[in-house]
Homo-oligomer: A and B are copies of this chain.
């Protein structure tokens, strides 16, 4: 069995959302699974010297146009959320809690459903995913025990797990969302999924 594809994303990244709707099909085509790896770009930008994409003159305007254009091409439902960007700490901690759980209820399928649910709440339903209540409502829709999740979000070990995950991502060279890692090979950007597909087909080049 080949190792999973690590898919790093910030829930507040439109390109992360757009790629999240396509990465599983690519992984499946090559007999791989997707390891969802939420990260916080705010922490990473302090190291990389970058800022949120939409805050850059010229580049920000292009990004807004390009998000919508890329969504149209792939027929992915999308609207720019307002407010944007928002902090995805709670939603990301919730992922860490789901990954840390040894409860078989909280398995990979549920994490996958939760990830898609958060992205959908933000980019389709324009809900503010920085709000814990929104996060828990998405969890509920994914048949996750929300009382247990709420307790998990307040647990120091879960807070530490997210912090550690972000630090490990930085150590691995991750600086943007989405970043797809195939066997230690990094591909940054939702526009690199075709390249990821070719890399997997050829076993590199």
Query: Which positions in A face B, CB cutoff 8 Å?
Result: 44, 47-51, 56-59, 61-62, 65-66, 69, 72-73, 170, 173-176, 186, 188-189, 191-192, 194-195, 198, 205
Contacts and interface: CB of A to CB of B under 8 A. Distances in A.
Copies of this chain, whole number = 2
Contacts of A49: 51, 56-57
12 contacts: A44-B58, A47-B57, A47-B58, A49-B51, A49-B56, A49-B57, A56-B175, A58-B170, A59-B176, A62-B186, A62-B188, A189-B191
A63 to B, nearest CB: 9
Contacts of A51: 49
A111 to B, nearest CB: 26
B205 A72 contact: yes
Contacts of A170: 58
Contacts of A188: 62, 66
